[in-house]
Structure 1
């Protein structure tokens, strides 16, 4: 397999939404005091194959941010994994209240324990936001003990909700949960959670294997799959498993055999859905998703066991399993995925950009059809763990770093 590269400051005002629960205020005062606008160049004249660019920090002091999205009027929304949502409007930064509860009461404020990957996760603005005002978000949903597999007292699963923003931007209104993963599980990891709108009246999002592996090949369990719902909830009637024998297959499943997709993007020309997925020890992947297809995990994998370094499953391929478009032999830990279609850097148009948590860099993938023909590594160790990659309405790439004091960064051509 090809190896990477071988082809080859003005403080802002913080405003707190009035209805934020008191317990969250107590556990979040440090973050409230520190989130601010930066507008500082942190790396100037970065040389790359197709462009010379500056890296500008837009926001600082974010606690483990997970996603950024833009409203049509240019305002930004940013999620933090501990459960906070921020609205950025020029110099004003407002904490938005009435967000979904991501933990049961006994775990409030503890979302960042070492074993815990849950919290408030992805965020997507509906393409017709100006008409309907909907904002979609994923999060780890806690459940009652009888919703949890096994003897654990606590379990959670990936949930999808939507809400509208109040007129003053201080609260979410009309909050409704559209989907909650059942059953819930106890490991507290592999939530997937990225969201896209394919433009056919549905919403697609990822759910990881919950750290349990086997459910990814169990079509009566949504773990380890891509989920496709109607935009107002409920399984899309033309999903691939609808009506299939023996009758108990999950109708919301769109594709399966996934470990943990944390990057999700729609090709701007073909409309195809592409993902970036965590492998085990090595073997992280890029997929092109097709309805009803099996992507192999855990029977097929490109990586090895953490404890023994033995091959996972039966090998790197098997009949009936869709192979990855691209994979890495090492663990780059992909999160955040975006096709570039802007005019700011013409040489990047059509390229796919993938964030890397473990390697702390940005991967630029050059495509020919559904093949990766070249890869360039950018910002190696410059910013930290890259969690999200988005193209902004200004045609520039934006990056979020998943750190205790993370930031939002913009790449802009150097002059």
Structure 2
């Protein structure tokens, strides 16, 4: 099999990361295509600097249940080495499994037979919930065996949709709340008018059973976060916390003149990760979902004075609350100490209430959130379009810069050049092409939409060319050895390349600068 080998020029801030370690190895690609129905689910026991097969989600399970492993889900592939950018054609023989570079790193299959697992949550020693993206099923796994299906939601699993994220209440099991991020389904709109969904949202309680990969068979607000209750054998719906944008068919004749008549329907940039922070609040990430409004740093939308799309905007009403990290109480209400709570109160109405929920914005898309167990800070990775994937330490009120900025703002001209000249020049949305990107750092900064209390922050680390980082996690405790305590691991994978990587980062002593 012939592949392209890529190596990347890397950029980092002067703060935050003291060292970056990479181990290059070839991986088994026989189960790495997204079109496959079944993927391996593996634990990786680590005693030393290491690398392993990786896909959608990395969960660091060095937990109170003493599971001294990293858990990996396979869903995509890449092959990457780091130095100066180049491409050369190379041929790699098919490997039977991950290639280890250290003798004290072991790999064992813990459970098999799952259908595209995306995330997991431990509910006891050697017992966890496992999510299947395309089936909407929550599996209960005990001692490496799938014991039962505890929930089967009717998901739309087209593109990046499906059953995506899980978080247990911080006081679980005393509080039996189980939180799920997923995409519900709805009848597709008629072919004569495919630009308007048949439903605004799914009804409660949510539908169970039949799934679909019809990209148009989704409500406008089809992404949702729900609380379920675990009774020891099944999950029962308790309440919906929030319903978020999902329907993407932006080639509509309204608004006119946006230049996006050829825009295909999409189902990506849903984010989907849920995490409870050390403050007991629930953090939710959703990508831009193809919107081009104020939360994407376009104060007047992509083609002013027209709205963002056929559903309104550019202000963040319910139809345009995307590209954000939300911070909610465990019952779905809004914490009064959120960074934009006062700003939202001053605006009022639906838009103001949504702004109050925001912890950070200007996010393109992310598959990873993690809290530093030492500092308590929130970290995330962010997928760029074709350039400058990021690792961010997310402070309250952060504006990540998208769509005006990706990567360090000092390298805005490189970002623009790559996006305009190398990979099709669309930023995945025809109504705001990369030719619109600023030419200088000062111009880019001046364009940002800054809600009162917001600030722009450069990433802690970025890759010049996209590696598609996904799950991230910190090592909590010394189960892997004291040399790894508090270290950050980031997985990355691409379907266009063969193999996959885990990147190991060591953080500075004060965890900030």
Note whether the superposition's TM-score is higher than 0.5: yes
Cα deviation for residue 61 of structure 1 reads 2.9
CA contact (8 A) 1:84 1:95 kept: no
Q: Give the secondary structure class of the aligned counterpart of 1:243.
A: helix
**CA spacing shift, 1:243–1:370, aligned 2, 3 Å:** same
Cα deviation for residue 94 of structure 1 reads 2.8
CA contact (8 A) 1:164 1:174 kept: yes
2:240 aligned to which of 165, 177, 184 = 177
Is 1:190 the counterpart of 2:269? The answer is yes
Query: Counterpart of 1:346?
Result: 482
Q: Give the secondary structure class of the aligned counterpart of 2:402.
A: coil
> Within 5 A, what are the aligned runs for 1:179-258?
179-182=242-245, 184-186=247-249, 187-214=266-293, 215-217=295-297, 218-220=315-317, 221-244=320-343, 245-247=346-348, 248-249=351-352, 250=354, 251-258=356-363
Cα deviation for residue 275 of structure 1 reads 0.3
**CA spacing shift, 1:367–1:236, aligned 2, 3 Å:** same
Is 1:162 the counterpart of 2:227? The answer is yes
CA contact (8 A) 1:46 1:52 kept: no
Q: State the distance in 2 between where 1:98 and 1:336 align.
A: 24
Query: Counterpart of 2:309?
Result: none
Q: Give the secondary structure class of the aligned counterpart of 1:329.
A: strand
**TM-score by structure 1 length?**
0.70
1:134-160 CA-partner distances (Å, limit 9, x unpaired): 111111134663538xxx774454311
**CA spacing shift, 1:313–1:141, aligned 2, 3 Å:** farther
Is 1:66 the counterpart of 2:183? The answer is no
1:362 aligned to which of 481, 487, 502 = 502
**CA spacing shift, 1:213–1:301, aligned 2, 3 Å:** farther
Rg larger for = 2
Q: State the distance in 2 between where 1:125 and 1:90 align.
A: 20
Q: Give the secondary structure class of the aligned counterpart of 1:129.
A: coil
Query: Counterpart of 1:79?
Result: 131
Q: Give the secondary structure class of the aligned counterpart of 2:288.
A: coil
**CA spacing shift, 1:60–1:183, aligned 2, 3 Å:** closer
1:79-125 CA-partner distances (Å, limit 9, x unpaired): 1111121111125413424343323xxxxxxx2x5xx2100011122
Query: Counterpart of 1:271?
Result: 376
**CA spacing shift, 1:38–1:296, aligned 2, 3 Å:** closer
Gaps of 5+ in 2: 1-8, 13-18, 23-35, 46-95, 187-196, 202-215, 250-265, 298-314, 408-414, 427-433, 447-454
Q: Give the secondary structure class of the aligned counterpart of 2:184.
A: strand
Q: Give the secondary structure class of the aligned counterpart of 2:239.
A: strand
Cα deviation for residue 45 of structure 1 reads 8.5
> Within 5 A, what are the aligned runs for 1:301-312?
301-302=406-407, 303=415, 304-305=418-419, 306-308=423-425
CA contact (8 A) 2:119 2:166 kept: yes
**How many residue pairs are counted as aligned between the two chains?**
333
Q: Give the secondary structure class of the aligned counterpart of 2:483.
A: helix
Gaps of 5+ in 1: 9-29, 104-110, 374-415
**CA spacing shift, 1:338–1:145, aligned 2, 3 Å:** same
**CA spacing shift, 1:370–1:284, aligned 2, 3 Å:** farther
1:187-246 CA-partner distances (Å, limit 9, x unpaired): 311111111111323201101100334353354432000011110112222222223233
Query: Counterpart of 2:143?
Result: 90
CA contact (8 A) 2:223 2:246 kept: no
**TM-score by structure 2 length?**
0.58
Cα deviation for residue 274 of structure 1 reads 0.3
